[in-house]
Amino acid sequence: MTAPSRLRVGRVERYVLKQQARSLLVALGVIAALIMLIDFVEISRGVGSDVDLSGVRILGLMLLKSPAVILQLTPFIFLFGTLGAYVALNRRSELIAMRAAGVSAWRFVLPAALMALVSGAVIVAAISPLASYADGVFQRERARLSGQAVGVGAPEAVWLREGDDQRQIIIRADRQDRAGGRLLGVTFFVYTNDSRGGRRFAERIDAASASLSAGSWRLVDAVGARIGERGVRYATLDLRSSLADEEAFDRFARPQSTPIWSLPAQIARVDAAGFSTTAYRLRLHQLVATPLVLAAMSILAAAFSLRLMRLGDLARMSAAAVVLGFAFFFINQMSAAFGSAEVIAPWVAAWLPPLLALLAALTLLVYTEDG
């Protein structure tokens, strides 16, 4: 049998893929319903306790938050969906008929894994950016509503950093007013760069408020002081900025709220500002590795459900697949924690768990099919 004939999608493969797609939709519906219910209750008890929100408003916030959480649990959707499809085929003795007809398990497992791989690519390229954007909108809306509850924006201090080859500016604000687009109680520490790459303190500027517009900071009621000089008071003062409009609030948005297509530029901006880019790099590698994760979950589920009904232990094998899936999730989270703490490189933290899961699934499938 030639390679092209082994890779063709025939009637058997199409039937199995159809059953898998149907089971994946069921798993998606169940998990999505649970996540949305949990998010609805959480928003009602969290944001809804600070301000008076209608049920429709809470529902809108839930629809903004839930997609990102559902996508995070996509590996479980493919694990449970594929497992349900193959167990159903096994219980109806359809797998027995296929195997008796000389159809190798590789003929219907690999197309299923390929479908998971393609689905993962579509999810990462098209659906994940929308979910990240919605999550960012939810985070801003939640901050705005919480800000309304306490008076003006978040109470914790805000730190920013920007600069170029000539100077670096560290910005600290007591709080931010998102509705007015301002930083309040703000201090600018200005450093100049010398020819040898060193930095020297140049000036400190304190202002009642600062707003970013058209590539410059507009400081109101500001006082500037240089070393050895008396302070100078300004009613308004403009400072050149390397930040784009609104980046004072959004440039350091959490990685989960940053679409994959914006992550490379975000990493460059954060790195240029002198902050750690580990979390953003880890998020980028995790998104790129998602198709491999989904393929590994599909192969793992199929390998655990191929045991013939007459041999027994199908329920125990299916339970073992679920346990192994949760073990993978735990290892993935632990690896991500190590990556975030810079114990291991971000790309290692993102790619090691999927590769281990894929190797374990292929090993089990080879053992099950070829003995």
143 within 8 A of 250, measured Cβ to Cβ: no
Cα–Cα nearest to 255, from 266, 268, 271: 266
Question: Hey, which bits of the chain come out as E strands?
Answer: 158-163, 167-177, 182-193, 199-213, 216-226, 232-240
Cα–Cα nearest to 352, from 331, 367, 371, 323: 331
The pair of structure tokens assigned to 185 is 């109680």
Q: What residue spans define the domains of the chain?
A: 3-148+277-370, 158-272
List of residues 6+ apart from 325 with CB closer than 8 A: 75, 76, 79, 297, 300, 301
163 within 8 A of 169, measured Cβ to Cβ: yes
Per-residue pLDDT tens, the chain, 371 aa: give them: 444 444 456 777 788 889 989 999 999 999 999 999 999 988 888 775 667 778 888 898 899 999 999 999 999 999 999 888 888 888 887 777 777 777 777 777 888 889 899 999 999 999 999 998 898 888 878 877 765 443 344 445 777 777 777 788 888 888 877 666 788 899 999 888 877 767 788 899 999 998 887 778 889 999 998 887 888 899 999 988 877 655 555 545 678 778 888 888 888 877 766 667 888 899 999 999 999 999 999 988 888 777 655 455 666 767 777 788 888 888 988 999 998 888 899 999 999 999 998 898 888 888 776 65
86 within 8 A of 80, measured Cβ to Cβ: no
Say whether pTM exceeds 0.85.
Answer: no
**Residue listed under structure tokens 């490189």:** 345
